[in-house]
Chain A
């Protein structure tokens, strides 16, 4: 999976979208979305290997709760961003901002137990 293949694929997608935009505009947006999804799927494989090696490193440290939180927030961010972009491309900007807002809330939700742990640590520290 080289960068050349990925770039070539993206350019191909752009061409198809441009062609279809003049004939059937609705197909154009769908094709754009599909191309984006496929590209994301392609990048998932190398990303997975990077993340597994870093997770192993973090697990050795014993702070595995923290590393899983960081990982999950990464995933939420990527997904939320992608979906928001798709919404924006299709012209529904309001949906995009709602999706982004929802992603922020979910990440904050993840953060809450860690914050509680931190506050407990601070409390014990100050005694």
Chain B
């Protein structure tokens, strides 16, 4: 009963703060309560109706595991046709190249065979390239929208902490979060993504033309990418160390399932993400208790939607690559396999940043 009353008091405080703090955001409805304002436009449809006005019990009821499961299925169902379409295109083109390959093999002159192989490869490479651009723009748009949201939610949380009397820790925490957000954003936008793009081009060129001279560069670039990933994961672990305030959650069956799935699909950082997940769930629990529920759900959504889209595209690309192998187009098989692994790196970047921001939100909420 006491806990419930505290919760009510905290909710009232939050609403009071929201009414007092002016937010300069591009919301269409100024009449709605301020919580709705921070929701990015494209995510509004995923949240239940009337998210601006809720009672604590409704919140705890509606944002449970089945909500997330349904949400996940819905996101996949919406993203799947788009991904499937672009790869149906690739498949059609590949069939043509396969027919070319069959005829090519009946031609006895070796030189002619090589030239025809080149033609098929160049065509497929151009088609694949025009598709990969879409995936990268998803990933980059995600990072900027996530940092925009973080820059909005941090003053809210800081104001909340100030209202409960912790002025200095509010200042410190918001300073730390702002720095971390801008640091991560600049690392991802200026270092990680250009490096991924560059090494993707290198791998493409080497696998397309079978040039062995520059083949040393692509693995080196891959190594550099994994070093930067390692560095970011190190920072993540440092942040985790400071999360001793957040109680670890219980290992429920659902969370084990999610951890396993995450570890399978995301390279490099699967281990770190799994570690972080137990902390996150504890973090989420804390957020729930401290009324930052909507913010947590939004962060989850912002991270989950592009992640699911990218992983779907990756899966379809690997499917097409397997088809290429079956049709006997070994060069195209290699090409698409390389591009798929780079999609995996992009997904890993999205996952790291999502985990990082979720942790920051939970840290702010737990201190409040």
Check B119 against A70 for contact (C-beta < 8 Å).
Answer: yes
Identity of the chain B residue whose Cβ is nearest the Cβ of A124 in the assembled complex: B133
**Interface set, chain B 112-140, CB cutoff 8 A to A:** 112, 115-116, 118-120, 122-127, 129-130, 132-133, 136
Identity of the chain A residue whose Cβ is nearest the Cβ of B89 in the assembled complex: A61
* Chain B residues with CB under 8 A of A124: 133
Q: How far is the CA of A107 from the CA of B204 in the complex (A)?
A: 22
| Residue in contact with B126 in the complex, picked from A66, A100, A101, A103, CB distance below 8 Å | A66
CB of A115 within 8 Å of the partner chain? yes
Q: How far is the CA of A124 from the CA of B129 in the complex (A)?
A: 10
Check B88 against A61 for contact (C-beta < 8 Å).
Answer: yes
* Given A104-B111, A107-B116, A70:B129 Cβ within 8 A: no
Of the stretches B56-64, B97-105, B263-271, the one at the interface is: B97-105
CB of A3 within 8 Å of the partner chain? no
Interface SS, A side: helix
Tell me the smallest distance from the CB of B121 to a CB of chain A, in Å.
Answer: 10
Check B132 against A125 for contact (C-beta < 8 Å).
Answer: yes
Q: Which of B88, B90, B100, B201 has the most CB of A within 10 A?
A: B100
Check B116 against A118 for contact (C-beta < 8 Å).
Answer: no
Check B96 against A125 for contact (C-beta < 8 Å).
Answer: no
CB of B259 within 8 Å of the partner chain? no
| Residue in contact with B100 in the complex, picked from A73, A103, A125, CB distance below 8 Å | A73
Check A115 against B201 for contact (C-beta < 8 Å).
Answer: no
- Identify the B interface with A (CB < 8 A): 88-90, 92-93, 95-97, 99-100, 103-104, 106-109, 111-112, 115-116, 118-120, 122-127, 129-130, 132-133, 136, 194, 197-198, 200-201, 204
